[in-house]
């Protein structure tokens, strides 16, 4: 049976009871992999320009009123799931992250790309200078934005040790429209999927998947199984599901100019 380590921390006249990882989770996270996975040549890799550490502080309680107070002072109420296999629900830690930092990352990356990228998460008793409580690699699992302002309202993170398998919605980037035979004939691209869900080892989560349209003619379509991905990634849906299709009536040059 796993033993939990507890620590009490005084912060702004409040007492936080911080629950650290179980011995089983620590052992799993620290276990060595026989052959570490790496990105393959020719496949998309995360841009190091956005390799940013997300800063956080612990939060003692949850609730609608607490969340409203956090947002009022420029913080986003968040949760980190401390999961032994990185996939199923487990112990959770309440934290708050900085609104400006999350807003900046989402703006620069885009929401879908933010949710498919790993970040280091650093939890301290105070932003920037407080005692380090935890530093862990995480994947943003869910992001809730304000409908009118796009301000981040809630973020959920999931732990991402190297030996986990994570369900990730990978964004699709369509390329080759300028030379696509079907589009050049005046037909149009029907985009059916913007993301595709894969089961991914965290070390090789692709920031996006390229979709090559350069040989697609009228009436032809691309399926999930046609996507070129790292062989360690596993499809979670049927490989026969369509991604896009060239279809529709021919569009005249005059109509294209409108």
User: Which tens digit of pLDDT belongs to each residue from 52-77?
Assistant: 999 999 998 888 888 899 999 999 99
Q: Check if the beta carbon of residue 160 is closer than 8 Å to that of residue 196.
A: no
Span 23-28, mean pLDDT? Answer: 43
pLDDT at 255: 53
pLDDT given for residue 173 in this prediction = 97
Tokens of residue 64, six digits: 């609608």
pTM, full prediction: 0.78
Q: How far is CA 109 from CA 42, 50, 52, 113, in A?
A: 21, 8, 12, 6
> How far apart are the C-alpha atoms of 16 and 240, rounded to whole Å?
50
pLDDT tens digits, 144-197? 999 989 999 999 999 998 888 899 999 999 999 999 999 999 999 999 999 999
Residue 217's nearest CA partner among 238, 239, 244 is 244
- The pLDDT-based confidence of 22 (bands split at 50, 70, 90) is very low
**Cα-based distances in Å from 166 to 20, 50, 76, 220:** 22, 21, 24, 32
pLDDT level of residue 83 (50, 70, 90 thresholds) = low
Q: How far apart are CA 101 and CA 77, in angstroms?
A: 13
3-state secondary structure of 183: helix
């Amino acid at each position: 049976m796993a033993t939990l380590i507890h620590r009490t921390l005084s912060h702004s006249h409040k007492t936080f009871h911080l629950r650290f990882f179980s011995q089983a989770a620590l052992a799993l996270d620290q276990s060595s992999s026989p052959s570490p996975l790496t990105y393959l040549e020719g496949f998309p890799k995360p841009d190091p320009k956005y390799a940013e550490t997300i800063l956080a502080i612990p939060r003692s309680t949850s609730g609608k009123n607490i969340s409203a107070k956090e947002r009022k002072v420029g913080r986003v109420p968040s949760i980190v799931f401390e999961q032994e296999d990185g996939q199923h629900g487990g112990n959770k830690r309440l934290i708050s992250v900085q609104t400006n930092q999350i807003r900046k990352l989402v703006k620069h990356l885009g929401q879908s790309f933010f949710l498919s990228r790993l970040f280091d998460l650093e939890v301290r008793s105070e932003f920037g200078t407080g005692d380090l409580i935890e530093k862990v690699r995480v994947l943003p699992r869910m992001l809730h934005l304000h409908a009118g302002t796009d301000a981040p309202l809630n973020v959920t993170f999931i732990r991402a040790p190297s030996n986990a398998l994570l369900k990730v919605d990978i964004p699709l980037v369509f390329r080759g429209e300028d030379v696509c035979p079907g589009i050049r004939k005046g037909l149009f691209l029907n985009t059916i999927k913007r993301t595709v869900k894969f089961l991914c080892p965290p070390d090789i989560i692709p920031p996006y998947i390229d979709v090559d349209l350069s040989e697609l003619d009228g009436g032809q379509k691309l399926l999930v199984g046609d996507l070129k991905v790292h062989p360690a990634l596993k499809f979670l849906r049927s490989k026969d599901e369509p991604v896009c299709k060239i279809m529709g009536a021919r569009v005249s040059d005059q109509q294209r100019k409108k």
